[in-house]
Amino acid sequence: MDAYEEEALENGETRTVLHFAPRIAPVKVAVFPLMKKEALVEKATQVFEQLQPLMTSEYDASGAIGKRYRRQDELGTPFCVTIDFDTLEDDTVTLRERDSMQQQRVPVSALAPLLLERLR
């Protein structure tokens, strides 16, 4: 697999991805609130502050969620964490993997250990 890839999407846009191995990616994880609602921003900030001492992390609340994912794909960030309204109800987040774009729900309490394991 090449480290740089451009992929044509069904909507006509291009998805650019840097496929850094997770352990050498400059930024390991990006944290996003789904939208700029106070409760989502507050929880996203808490999650970001938990991850930041453990791994290089970025916080991004600007623009549509799809565009934020694309920006991180271009930077080679292997994981993105989205805080949404379900997070406020059940304390789980959506963890998205860059290369497969697969998403899974993960309890906030299990997020850091899971990311550290996947970054090895």
Residue 28 and residue 77 in contact, taking contact as beta carbons nearer than 8 Å: yes
Per-position pLDDT tens, the chain of length 120: 689 999 888 888 889 999 999 999 999 999 999 999 999 999 999 999 999 999 999 999 999 999 999 999 999 999 999 999 999 999 999 999 999 999 999 999 999 999 999 999
Q: What is the pTM of this model?
A: 0.94
Per-residue pLDDT at 77 = 99
Per-residue pLDDT at 13 = 86
Least Cα distance to 73 among 120, 19, 23 occurs for: 19
Per-residue pLDDT at 1 = 60
Q: Which domains does the chain have, with CATH numbers?
A: 4-118 (3.40.50.800)
